[in-house]
Amino acid sequence: MKLALIGYGRMGKMIEAAGARDGIEIVCVIDPVAGSRGSLSDADVCVDFTEPAVVIDNIKTAAAAHVSMVVGTTGWHDRLDEAKQLVLESDIGLVYGSNFSIGVNLMFKITRYAAGLFRHFASHDPFIEEAHHKLKKDAPSGTALSLGKIMEAEYKREIPTASTRAGYFPGRHTVGFDSEADTLEINHSARSRAGFADGALLAAKWIDGRKGFFEFTEIIEEVLHDRPAGQ
Active site positions, annotated: 132, 136
CA dist., res. 223 & res. 210, Å (int): 16
Count CA atoms closer than 13 A to 223's CA, side-chain side.
12
**CA 191: distance to chain centroid?**
17
How many residues in total does the chain contain? 231
CA dist., res. 170 & res. 134, Å (int): 10
Q: Which of 7, 17, 44, 52 is nearest to 207 (CA)?
A: 44
CA dist., res. 35 & res. 38, Å (int): 11
Contacts of 85 (CB under 8 A, 6+ apart): none
In 10 A of CB 100, how many CB atoms?
27
CA dist., res. 146 & res. 184, Å (int): 20
**CA 87: distance to chain centroid?**
18
- Phi and psi at residue 145, to the nearest 5°: -65, -40
